[in-house]
């Protein structure tokens, strides 16, 4: 596995090679964060490993927030991740288009990117896990991008408090992914 990166998390822009960028879709919200994963010569990081780390590396407080979110939005008739056995879902997760894990569905996967997300009545969201060669041409840069399209006032209202937490959650998740890939 790759060595733990000592780099920090940086706010960046949606990669021009991302599937999300190529759609020319107008997003109501978009952000991206990046970190470099230092590799030993000859080491690689399959995008499937990145996706699995994304689902298993979040801090406990992020899991707690998702559980609270699911309890609240379930009353409003919005989609939740369900109460299924998470470990069983992880064990069976293929990371192929159409696969689901909790609230997240895989929309697209290629060698350098996985697009996760969900469509709901209030908004659609996508999360891109994008890997590219770092500037030193040996390491890899992981960029996690989120885009949101609102369908109605409920989507805008829902996202007001979510946006504040989102700006803390994504960098924490990115740090966790890098740490997990180190193990």
Show the tokens assigned to 86: 């998470």
Directed axis angle between helix 153-182 and helix 60-75, to 10°?
160
pTM of this prediction? 0.83
Distance CA 3, CA 8 (A): 14
pLDDT digits (tens, 9 = 90+) for 17-66: 999 987 768 999 999 999 988 877 777 889 999 999 888 887 676 676 66
Q: Is domain 10-182 given the CATH code 3.30.70 in the classification? A: no
Show the tokens assigned to 157: 């209202």
User: In 3D, which of 4, 8, 36 has the Cα closest to residue 137?
Assistant: 36
* Average model confidence (pLDDT) across the chain: 83
Give residue 95's pLDDT.
Answer: 87
Most confident of 74-88, 115-129, 159-173: 115-129
Distance CA 32, CA 28 (A): 14
> Where are the chain's structural domains?
10-182
């Amino acid at each position: 596995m790759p060595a733990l990166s000592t780099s920090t998390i940086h706010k960046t822009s949606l990669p021009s090679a991302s599937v999300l960028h190529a759609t020319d879709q107008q997003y109501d919200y978009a952000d991206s964060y990046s970190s470099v994963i230092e590799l030993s010569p000859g080491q690689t990081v399959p995008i499937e490993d990145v996706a699995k780390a994304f689902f298993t590396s979040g801090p406990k407080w992020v899991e707690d927030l998702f559980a609270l979110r699911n309890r609240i939005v379930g009353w409003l008739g919005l989609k939740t991740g369900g109460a299924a056995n998470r470990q069983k879902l992880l064990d069976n997760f293929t990371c192929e288009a159409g696969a689901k894990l909790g609230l997240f569905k895989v929309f697209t996967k290629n060698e350098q990117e996985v697009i996760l997300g969900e469509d709901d009545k209030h908004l659609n969201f996508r999360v891109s896990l994008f890997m590219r060669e770092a500037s030193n041409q040996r390491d890899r840069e992981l960029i996690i991008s989120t885009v949101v399209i609102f369908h109605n006032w409920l989507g805008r209202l829902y996202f007001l408090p979510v946006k504040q937490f989102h700006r803390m959650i994504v960098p924490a998740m990115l740090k966790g992914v890098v740490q997990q890939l180190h193990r």
